């Protein structure tokens, strides 16, 4: 049962990676936009391959990489959005972003710095 779930997650991450690569190739927008999604997809593939082959250290590394890249992208987006809001004088957007800052900080603390979960 566990192996079937890991394989299903591996296939899902692989399909997501292929779709992302297709759009990276076809789009005219800046390619950097896709970087966090590509890295997270690769990290998910690496984690599931580590779990599939019983390589716990490899799976933990890729799980950590996924979390770090996810939160870096999350906070980078919020920083850019708030900078643009301040630059344009649109302070309502900053108020709108406060729950996302709080949620991001809460989950980052819980997922990256919680010793019980990481042990």
Task: Kindly report the average pLDDT of the chain as a whole number.
Answer: 92
> What is the distance between the alpha carbons of residues 13 and 26, in angstroms, rounded to a whole number?
20
Q: pTM above the 0.75 mark? A: yes
Residue 118, CA distances (Å) to 31, 64, 115 in order: 33, 9, 5
CB 52 within 8 A of CB 3: yes
Question: Residue 8 pLDDT more than 80?
Answer: yes
> Which range marks the domain in which residue 8 is found?
2-118
- How does DSSP classify residue 30? -
Question: Residue 16 pLDDT more than 80?
Answer: yes
> What is the distance between the alpha carbons of residues 91 and 110, in angstroms, rounded to a whole number?
29
Q: What pLDDT digit, counting tens, does each position of 52-93 carry?
A: 999 999 999 999 999 999 999 999 999 999 999 999 999 999
Total number of domains constituting the chain: 1
> What is the distance between the alpha carbons of residues 81 and 101, in angstroms, rounded to a whole number?
11
């Amino acid at each position: 049962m566990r192996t079937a779930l890991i394989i299903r997650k591996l296939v899902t991450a692989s399909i997501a990676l292929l779709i992302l690569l297709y759009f990276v190739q076809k789009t005219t927008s800046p390619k950097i936009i896709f970087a966090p999604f590509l890295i997270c997809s690769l990290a998910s593939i690496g984690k599931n391959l580590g779990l599939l082959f019983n390589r716990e250290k490899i799976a933990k590394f890729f799980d950590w990489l996924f979390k770090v890249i996810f939160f870096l992208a999350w906070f980078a987006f919020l920083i850019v959005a708030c900078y643009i809001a301040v630059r344009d004088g649109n302070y309502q957007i900053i108020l709108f972003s406060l729950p996302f800052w709080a949620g991001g900080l809460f989950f980052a603390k819980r997922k990256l710095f919680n010793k019980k979960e990481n042990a």
